[in-house]
Amino acid sequence: MIRRLIPRSLATRTALVLLLGLAVVQIAGLTIHAFDRMDIQRLAQVRDLAVRLMLIYRNVSLAPPQQREDVLRELNRAHDLVAMLAPTPPAGELPETPPNLQRLLRVNLNLVPLSAALRPREFSMLGDPAWGSMLVGMQMPDGQWLNFHADIEPPTPWHSPTFLTAFLLMTATAAILTLWAVRRLTAPVRTLARAADTLGRDVNAPPLPEDGPSEVATAAAAFNTMAARIRRFVQDRTEMLTAIGHDLRTPITRLKLRAEFVDDDELRRKMLADLEELEAMVSATLAFGRDATATEPVSPIDLAELLRTVLDEAGDARPEAADNLTYEGPPHLTVRARPFALKRALANLIANAISYGGSASVRVVPPLAGTIGVAIEDAGPGIPPQELERVFEPFHRVESSRNRETGGVGLGLPIARNILRAHGGDVTLSNRPGGGARALVTLPA
Amino acid sequence: MEITPHILVVDDDREIRDLLARFLEKHRMRVTPARDAREARRLWTAGHYHIVVLDLMLPGESGLDLARWMRTQSDIPIVMLTAMGEETDRIIGLELGADDYVAKPFNPRELLARIRAVLRRAGETSPRTEPTARSLRFGGWTLEPARRRLLNPDAVEVPLTGGEYDLLVALVERANRVLTRDMLLDLLRGRQAGPFDRAIDVAISRLRRKLEDDGRNAQLIKTVRGGGYVLAANVERA
């Protein structure tokens, strides 16, 4: 349950942890700040109170005793401070004043200049500013008490006009910086993932840059080493296949010549057919092994005619399917391509459609957003969904097709995809809703 | 074709040399086999040949060098045996002046058909006075023999099947002359299976489509009453 609430991406997780930590630090900092402010406010309030009390005391004590009530009435204007004359010190249900505040108040009360004769004989304090009110009494030299009841405003640690703005600004900046830093720090992970993905499609993908923080550089170097090993492995295998293909040409040629001396027509025909098949396999292997597109220059070619030519040739080679080969699309469409390679790719796809589906209908979608689409459809049984992508792996074939009728070594589709991707296009397979398979070729217009 | 054609076969594989010799002799040709370029040069000076079948992959001196040397000696037709899929070899070979090529592993009957077609062409035009053209221009279209390709007036390649290409070359090389169906049949033999008669008509109609030559009212490839075709255009060689 909790697991599901944890975000999946490393960047989000890291950002979340950092932001949570930041929040804790912020809250602690704010609390300390608030306590500090409260203390300072208390001190200021007490000092302020002391000065006010002393001023009233001086005025009252300077006046003749019978006029004191009048003076007091004059001075009793403030709503938070009430003064009265009494024969006794103030009393009330209030706690003791903390000793440090008592000391502070006493010191401050003595700050106001007053002749020695007028100094209060005694002080009496009750209450705590934290409780909101204080009772302070001062005995005048003639023994009468001047008692005060002061309301003390509760401290307001947050009441600063710039506080909220500053706090929000700080939080936002910290959050943005955190997100930026985390994204930057986790970027190499994304780069690595992308590189691994690219390597899966193209072993000759350029290596990762081995710079940045040491851990990232080490990971990139390790990745590049792995990629180089895979590349060497693939190269070795392809070179071996190419070598076998080259070596097979001579014996196949000999066998074809020998077959010509077989008198039995039927036997000779069958031998030649077998040899053709063998040759087709060798040819496919060689085409896969060679970087077919590297040497051939790019030139303009009529794609529409190329498709029709491939269909014509397929029809000539397999007259039984010739009536099921159709072309639909513009009569001419120029693309820039490597003619031999492109023809091979399209021929492989069309041959596949005929082999597995008994027909091939080719439809060219005119350029849209810089892409030309070519759909090659058949009316066969289609391809199991889990095989749609795997059939592009070299030597992989749909299990049910591993029989003599459909032949092949499982290189037709990988070759087609290699060539089309080298052209900046691609090919994907899907099953048509009405049945049959569809190969969708894309090419840059 | 009363005389027996004499063929110099240059291939480094003894079995292939022997089998090819037996095969071609079975089809009424005389064969002198050579193992490498050195032996080929020795036999070249010792005999007289009508055509050379030359493997490009030879030990020591390469087949391309040998072909280049032979071209300096005479106009003898050369059919190259190229390694399957090695397009560059083929293009260089054809640019050097080889008359045709067959990819290894080849179909013996196709090789035989090519040899016959090249011999016929050589017999018609011999002695050859002009070297193989780099390009043939007709009615705005361009044929490039070295690359076996056709370019439209906008220099865009219009793909052709092997048979269509051979047919078009034959028509262009003999522009404004009628080619009988029999001559065209020879060209396509060995190229494809199926009934050849129909194959000619199909190939011509496809060529017309590709040359944007309206089949009903063809201007470029005209049908000749009595069975034949003619390319009605002036051909520029370059």
Which amino acid type is present at position A259?
A
pLDDT of residue B128: 44
The Cα–Cα gap between B182 and B120 comes to 13
For chain B, percent of residues with pLDDT exceeding 70: 86
Q: Which residue has the higher pLDDT, A403 or A278?
A: A278
pLDDT of residue A292: 47
DSSP string, A387-420: GTTGGGSTT---GGG-STTT---S-HHHHHHHHH
Q: State the DSSP H helix or E strand holding residue A336, giving kind and residue range, or none if neither.
A: strand A334-337
Bridge-based pairing state of the strands B221-224 and B149-151: unpaired
Binning pLDDT at 50, 70 and 90, where does residue A42 land?
confident
Q: Which residue has the higher pLDDT, A114 or B161?
A: B161
pLDDT of residue A199: 77
Residue A95's SS3 state is: coil
Whether B156 has its CB under 8 Å from any CB of chain A: the answer is yes
Whether B20 has its CB under 8 Å from any CB of chain A: the answer is yes
Binning pLDDT at 50, 70 and 90, where does residue A310 land?
very high
CA A76 to chain centre: 68
Question: Which residue's entry shows tokens 């087949």?
Answer: B63
Q: State the DSSP H helix or E strand holding residue B7, giving kind and residue range, or none if neither.
A: strand B6-10
Reply yes or no on whether the pLDDT at B127 is more than 60. Answer: no
Reply yes or no on whether the pLDDT at B171 is more than 60. Answer: yes
Reply yes or no on whether the pLDDT at A116 is more than 60. Answer: yes
Best-predicted range by mean pLDDT (A80-89, A196-205, A262-271): A262-271
Binning pLDDT at 50, 70 and 90, where does residue A356 land?
confident
Reply yes or no on whether the pLDDT at A13 is more than 80. Answer: yes
For chain A, percent of residues with pLDDT exceeding 90: 16
pLDDT of residue A316: 83
Distance from CA of B129 to the nearest CA of A (A): 32
Peptide bond into B127 cis (omega under 30): yes
pLDDT of residue B193: 45
Query: Does B155 sit within 8 Å of A256, measured CB to CB?
Result: no
Closest CB to A302 among B26, B158, B206: B158
Residue A339's SS3 state is: helix
Whether B107 has its CB under 8 Å from any CB of chain A: the answer is yes
Q: Which chain B residues contact residue A254 at CB under 8 A?
A: 13, 15-16, 19
Reply yes or no on whether the pLDDT at B190 is more than 60. Answer: no
Which amino acid type is present at position A170?
M
The Cα–Cα gap between A256 and A271 comes to 8
State the average pLDDT for chain A.
83
Whether B104 has its CB under 8 Å from any CB of chain A: the answer is yes
pLDDT of residue A429: 93
Candidates B157, B198, B208: best to mutate against A (most CBs of A within 10 A) is B157
Q: Does this model's pTM top 0.80? A: no
Whether B195 has its CB under 8 Å from any CB of chain A: the answer is no
Binning pLDDT at 50, 70 and 90, where does residue B121 land?
confident
- Which range among A183-197, A311-325, B44-58, B120-134 shows the weakest confidence by mean pLDDT? B120-134
Query: Does B159 sit within 8 Å of A302, measured CB to CB?
Result: yes
Reply yes or no on whether the pLDDT at A293 is more than 50. Answer: no
Across A408-421, average pLDDT: 84
pLDDT digits (tens, 9 = 90+) for A374-385: 999 998 888 888
Reply yes or no on whether the pLDDT at A342 is more than 80. Answer: yes
Candidates A242, A249, A253: best to mutate against B (most CBs of B within 10 A) is A253
Across A214-223, average pLDDT: 87
Closest CB to A256 among B88, B108, B206: B108
**How many CB contacts within 8 angstroms connect chain A with chain B?**
96
ipTM value for the complex: 0.73
Across A200-221, average pLDDT: 80
pLDDT of residue A362: 95
Reply yes or no on whether the pLDDT at B87 is more than 80. Answer: no
pLDDT of residue A439: 94
Binning pLDDT at 50, 70 and 90, where does residue A357 land?
confident
Binning pLDDT at 50, 70 and 90, where does residue A70 land?
confident
pLDDT of residue A247: 82
Binning pLDDT at 50, 70 and 90, where does residue B51 land?
very high
Question: Is A297 exposed, middle or buried (CB count within 10 Å of its CB: 0-12, 13-18, 19+)?
Answer: exposed
pLDDT of residue A327: 94
Across B8-26, average pLDDT: 92
Whether B87 has its CB under 8 Å from any CB of chain A: the answer is yes
pLDDT of residue B105: 86
**Cβ neighbours around A157 below 10 Å, total:** 18
Closest CB to A287 among B23, B85, B193: B85
Reply yes or no on whether the pLDDT at A211 is more than 60. Answer: yes
Binning pLDDT at 50, 70 and 90, where does residue A414 land?
confident
pLDDT of residue A259: 92
